[in-house]
Chains A and B, each alone.
Chain A
Amino acid sequence: MARYVEVLFRHWWQFLILLFLLPGAVTAASIAIFGTYQASAALWVDSPSSIGIPATPSGWNQYLTPAQNEQDSLNQMLRTRSFLSDLGDRLTSSGTITTRSELSSVLGSVARQLKVTPAGSHLVTINFSCERAAVCVAAISGTIELFHQRLAKQQQDQADIASSFYASEIDGANIRLKAAEGGVDKYLADHPQVSLAESQAIPELDLLVRQVSESRAEIDSLRQKAGQAAFTGAAALRLVQSISSVIDPPRLSERGLVNSGSIKRAALAVIAFWAAGAAYLVVLTWLDRTARDPRELERRLRVPVLVTIPHFAHMGRA
């Protein structure tokens, strides 16, 4: 052990180069050549009820916080091929990515490395690392926009279905209203001495009049719901953007060893150089068989080392 330490200190500058300077240089070169960028954005997510919207977005769990619901939705969406395909189209059409290989690489990275993290009950942060700054920012922007569009589309689809349902319900209610009104008219025609004001006194007429008023009330209610659905459908995108608003737009946050690839490269370089350093240390120690350690001399020669005399420059040698 003492010999190894002795060799280490004697050739300290070589080991300094091998163990620290070279790994440092390789890491710096790795950063410079294979530079990685990290972009981030922050979303503020509100519960729809808090802004007066009775509808709940699809997939929301009432036992989770809005931020957790948003993270869950976004992560599920990121797992779909159609979402990644749409994101790819967006990045390509905007001219951010021009080559197919880079596109596939970026989309693969988005699926694996785009991190959606709730930072509280309402705040969600999105981080993404890649090799080009513009791509990082564009990928996060595209992800957020696509996510909002997809949520809005879901809202619109739900609203359309609701509108169709309410329209058919209104049609049915109109038929029932007309039938009820026809019944009242027929009763009054059959009984000319009876007026509509006396309907409460005549049970049969009263029933017919109550059917008419119930049908009208039902139609009003259905029209109101249909209107709500139409409003939800028409303003779906605005509503989604209100629920999930971008408070920190995508921007570069860091540069350097930020993704696992870069860290892996740097770690491999460090491990390789440290292994080479250890091998070099062993070789140097093995090659150096000169007298250096008094204790080793005593052990091997079984003769005491009486004194060590430090080196001095002008010692006469003979």
Chain B
Amino acid sequence: MERIDLRASDVAESLDEALAGRPATPGFAPRPLERARPVALPAWFIDRCRRAYLSVSFPEGAARIIGITSAFYGEGKTSVAIGIAMAVAADTQEPTLLLECDLERPSFDRFFGFRTAPGLAEWLEALAPLRVIRAAPLENEYIIPAGSRPTDPARIIYRLSESNVMAELRPRFRNIVLDLPPVLNIAYSSLACRLAERILLVARYGLTPIEDLEKAEFLLGQERLTGILLNGYASKVPRWLRGLL
């Protein structure tokens, strides 16, 4: 397979520059790292996300790369990805990266209040330097947005998967949460899912057909699919009766 010409030194340099903030131009003061607006997610939601990632086991000492995907759009995978990243960052106090890999419909800008571009797509296309944003209020949580929708998203994901970007990210970020494209909507999602070591599949209560979840499971492979998060759960059955059934 052809190796993408994205040199390791370029990637490392870009990451270091991005994390250090924009260097000072002669005659100007250096600008600090761009900061995102705090996301208003309820504490109980973060707690549920915490429970989910605590259920995922990783090899001791290795970077934890969790991918969050779903069968279709509209099932809440981005909310869950943000929640998991916040929970991991808060619990571990280790550098945590939230990487938006959904190039078709980037939505971090709606949550965090920053502009979409430039982002991952522009950087991999060598159109703009890598943009890393510091999340708020946690100091150890970082975000790389997807950028504006590229003409060929599959090629961008291919570049990402075949380059050493993830390998360079691992030593810098102990925890990486990937907001992956939905499995059945996007053809290259299987490729994107290979970036993650563990994948969590988000299903929306009363919306996602079980047959489609089975298809998604087939495409992802059962060995990497660690678990399912049933989102928007609104059962009308009383808790005591659910326990009896």
A residues near B (Cβ < 8 Å) are: 1-2, 5-6, 9-10, 12, 288-292, 294, 296-298, 300-312, 314-318
| Among candidates B230, B235, B242, residue contacting A309 with C-beta atoms closer than 8 Å | B230
For the complex, what is the distance from the CA of A205 to the CA of B234, rounded to whole Å?
A: 123
Q: Which residues on A sit within 8 Å (CB–CB) of B56?
A: 306
Which residues 54-75 in B have Cβ within 8 Å of A in the complex?
A: 55-56, 73-75
Cβ–Cβ contact A12 & B210, under 8 A:
no
Which residues 75-112 in B have Cβ within 8 Å of A in the complex?
A: 75-80, 82, 102, 105, 107, 110-111
Q: Which residues on B sit within 8 Å (CB–CB) of A306?
A: 51-52, 55-56, 200, 226-229
B residues near A (Cβ < 8 Å) are: 40, 42, 44-45, 48-49, 51-52, 55-56, 73-80, 82, 102, 105, 107, 110-111, 179, 200-201, 203-211, 213-214, 217, 222, 225-238, 241-242, 245
Cβ–Cβ contact A312 & B42, under 8 A:
yes
With A290-B209, A307-B52 in contact, is A5–B237 under 8 Å at CB?
Answer: yes
Cβ–Cβ contact B79 & A9, under 8 A:
no
Q: Which residues on B sit within 8 Å (CB–CB) of A289?
A: 209-211
Cβ–Cβ contact B205 & A307, under 8 A:
no
Question: Nearest Cβ in chain B — how far from A311, in angstroms?
Answer: 4
Q: What is the number of contacts between chain A and chain B, taking CB atoms within 8 Å? A: 138
**Secondary structure call for the A interface:** mixed
With A290-B206, A291-B203 in contact, is A318–B233 under 8 Å at CB?
Answer: no
| A-B contact list, 23 entries, CB within 8 Å | A5-B241, A288-B206, A290-B208, A291-B204, A291-B230, A292-B205, A292-B235, A297-B213, A297-B228, A301-B213, A303-B225, A306-B56, A306-B229, A307-B51, A308-B205, A309-B45, A309-B80, A309-B231, A310-B234, A312-B45, A316-B110, A317-B74, A318-B74
Q: Which residues on B sit within 8 Å (CB–CB) of A5?
A: 237, 241, 245
Q: 14 more A-B contacts (CB under 8 A) besides A306-B52, A318-B73?
A: A5-B241, A10-B236, A288-B206, A291-B204, A303-B227, A305-B227, A306-B227, A306-B228, A306-B229, A308-B230, A309-B45, A315-B45, A316-B78, A318-B74
For the complex, what is the distance from the CA of A11 to the CA of B236, rounded to whole Å?
A: 9
For the complex, what is the distance from the CA of A233 to the CA of B205, rounded to whole Å?
A: 90
For the complex, what is the distance from the CA of A80 to the CA of B236, rounded to whole Å?
A: 62
Q: Which residues on B sit within 8 Å (CB–CB) of A294?
A: 230
With A296-B210, A302-B222 in contact, is A316–B79 under 8 Å at CB?
Answer: yes
Cβ–Cβ contact B245 & A318, under 8 A:
no
Cβ–Cβ contact A2 & B236, under 8 A:
no
For the complex, what is the distance from the CA of A308 to the CA of B52, rounded to whole Å?
A: 9
Question: Nearest Cβ in chain A — how far from B223, in angstroms?
Answer: 11
Question: Nearest Cβ in chain B — how far from A10, in angstroms?
Answer: 5
For the complex, what is the distance from the CA of A302 to the CA of B223, rounded to whole Å?
A: 11
Question: Nearest Cβ in chain B — how far from A225, in angstroms?
Answer: 84
